[in-house]
Amino acid sequence: MATRTETKSDNLSATQKQQPSEVAPDLDQRSHETQKFGEIVKLPNGLSEKVCKDSVALLNQCLADTITLRDMYKKHHWQVVGPTFNQLHLMYDQHFEAQVLIVDILAERIQLLGGIALAMAADIAETTKIKRPPRGREPAAVQIRRLAEAHEHIIIEARKAAKAVDEAGDDGSNDVFVSNVLRTNELQVWFLTEHLVAASPVSA
Ligand SMILES: [Fe+2]
């Protein structure tokens, strides 16, 4: 009787045959959350867990409001109309870019304190205290008024937060609230609101 030639595959055990290839990605990755939102992983930074937790809460609120303001700048950058279109279109994007930097500074400050930074749009929408603008287009003057109101909210809260973290001994967070959040927002309010002055460019 003829016999089949034995191949290398026949010699592998059943377990060995089921093993994925060494170069095939295993996409079935699942896990529980390794750190819950609101929990602090204590790092050797000379601050107590309570101080880190309190600072993280203030930083996350500022982060949610800053992300909302950042996105409002892009909305208005796209939707602006009128004779000052080009100037506002460009200024809105400059302010957007500055807010992008603040967002990253806030989020990384939260992480380095052992916390978890808010990130996703739905979580930002649930957390921000800045009033939601309509989906539709509004006149440039209304855009500026909305932005100025959002800035003022962030400025008021940043001053309060700066004092709170300073009293708790968290100098690094105090520096972020003052040097990054407060100073940038104050500057942008100036640039914005000068556009609401009814001054003629050709007569006094
Ligand atoms: Fe653009």
The per-residue pLDDT string of the chain (204 residues; one tens digit each, 9 = 90 and over) reads: 445 555 555 566 655 556 667 899 999 999 999 999 999 999 999 999 999 999 999 999 999 999 999 999 999 999 999 999 999 999 999 999 999 999 999 999 999 999 999 999 999 999 999 999 999 999 999 999 999 999 999 999 999 999 999 999 999 999 999 999 999 999 999 999 999 898 877 888
Whose CA is closest to 73, among 128, 156, 143, 153? 143
pLDDT (0 to 100) of residue 1: 47
Question: How far does residue 71's CA lie from ligand 1's centre (Å)?
Answer: 12
Q: Is the dihedral angle over the CA atoms 129, 130, 133, 135 positive or is it negative?
A: negative
- Which pLDDT score, from 0 to 100, does residue 144 have? 97
Helix, strand or coil, per DSSP, at residue 5: coil
- Give pLDDT, residue 8: 54
Distance 145 CA to ligand 1 centre (A): 21
> Hey, where are the domains in the chain?
49-196
> How far away, in angstroms, is 94 Cα from ligand 1 center?
10
Q: How far apart are CA 17 and CA 9, in angstroms?
A: 8
- Report helix, strand or coil for 99: helix
The pLDDT of residue 66 is: 99
Q: pTM for the full model?
A: 0.88
Determine the distance separating the centroid of ligand 1 and the alpha carbon of 132, expressed in angstroms. 22
Centre of ligand 1 from the C-alpha of residue 126, in Å? 27
What class, spelled out in words, does domain 49-196 have in CATH? Answer: mainly alpha
CA distance 27 to 83: 53
176 CA from centroid of ligand 1 (Å): 28
- Tokens matching residue 93: 């994007």
